[in-house]
Amino acid sequence: MSYSSIEIIQYDEQWITNFKSIKQVISKSLCDLIIDIEHVGSTSIQGLAAKPILDIDIVIENYDVFPNVIQGLEKIGYLHQEEWSFEGREAFGRIDTLTPWDGKGTQWMEHHLYVCDKDSEELLRHLAFRDYLRNNREAVIEYENLKRKLANTVKDRNSFSLGKTEFINGILKKVLG
C-alpha cells in the first residue's frame, strides 16, 4: 500500500484511443486556430505504467490567436487556469467529466490540457522527453521503476513530481544538450 493517493497502473492501449477521441473534439472546436494537438506525458509511451491521466498539449503558431483559443475551449467546457500557467504553457481545467462537450454526453478520461506556442521551451521539453522514451526501452523501465518507488514512498503529488525531476532533466540534457 502506498503512502500517497498516487496510483500507477499498467499501460493501457485505451489511453491512445481516449487521446484520439479528445483530440478530435478539440480539433473540431478550434479548427484553423491550432497547428497540432500532441499526446505527451507517460500515457503517450507504449508499455509505460502511469497515472491514468492524459497530458495533452495544444500547439498554436503564436499568442495572437490565444484569446480565440480560450473562447473555443470555453465553448466545449474548459476554463483557462491562469494560476497554473506560466510562460510557454497555458493550463486549462475541465468544468466536469463531460468536458470536452461533444454533444453526445460522453464522459472522458481524466486529462490535463495545455496550450503552447510552437516555439515554447515547455513544448520542446515535453516532445523531447516523450520521443526519447518512445525510442529507449531501457529508459522506460528505469522511469517506471522510479515512479512506482515514488508512489509507494512519497506523501503527495508535489513530492512525486520533484522525485522525478533529476531523471527527467538527465534525459533532457542528453537530448537537448
CATH number assigned to the domain comprising residue 43 = 3.30.460.10
Query: Distance between CA 8 and CA 50 in Å, rounded?
Result: 5
**What are the tens digits of pLDDT across the range 127-165?**
999 999 999 999 999 999 999 999 999 989 899 999 999
Strand, helix or coil for residue 41: coil
**DSSP characters for 105-165?**
-PPPPPEEEEEEETT-HHHHHHHHHHHHHHT-HHHHHHHHHHHHHHHHH-SSHHHHHHHHH
**What are the tens digits of pLDDT across the range 94-123?**
999 999 999 999 999 999 999 999 999 999
Is residue 154 a part of any domain in this protein? yes
Number of domains in the chain: 1
Is residue 6 a part of any domain in this protein? no
Task: Output the pTM of the full model.
Answer: 0.94
Residue 7, pLDDT score: 92
Instruction: With beta carbons less than 8 A apart as the criterion, state whether 154 and 3 touch.
Output: yes
**What is the dihedral sign for C-alpha 57, 46, 42, 103?**
positive
- Exposure of 141 in the CB half-sphere (CA atoms within 13 A): 3
What phi, psi does 52 have (nearest 5°)? -80, 60
Is residue 1 a part of any domain in this protein? no
pLDDT band at 88 (very low <50, low <70, confident <90, very high): confident
**Sheet containing 78-80: which strands, arranged edge to edge?**
36-40, 54-60, 111-117, 90-94, 78-80
Work out the average pLDDT over 26-35.
96
Is residue 2 a part of any domain in this protein? no
Angle at 69 between CA 65 and CA 75, to 5 degrees: 150
Residue 87, pLDDT score: 85
Is residue 9 a part of any domain in this protein? no
Is residue 7 a part of any domain in this protein? no
Work out the average pLDDT over 16-24.
98
Q: What is the CA radius of gyration of the chain?
A: 16
Query: Distance between CA 177 and CA 173 in Å, rounded?
Result: 5
**What are the tens digits of pLDDT across the range 40-76?**
999 999 999 999 999 999 999 999 999 999 999 999 9
Is residue 3 a part of any domain in this protein? no
Look up cell 506560466; give the residue: 86
Residue 3, pLDDT score: 46
Given a cut of 60, whether residue 92 has pLDDT beyond it is yes
Average pLDDT of the chain to the nearest whole number: 95
Residue 57 lies in domain: 14-176
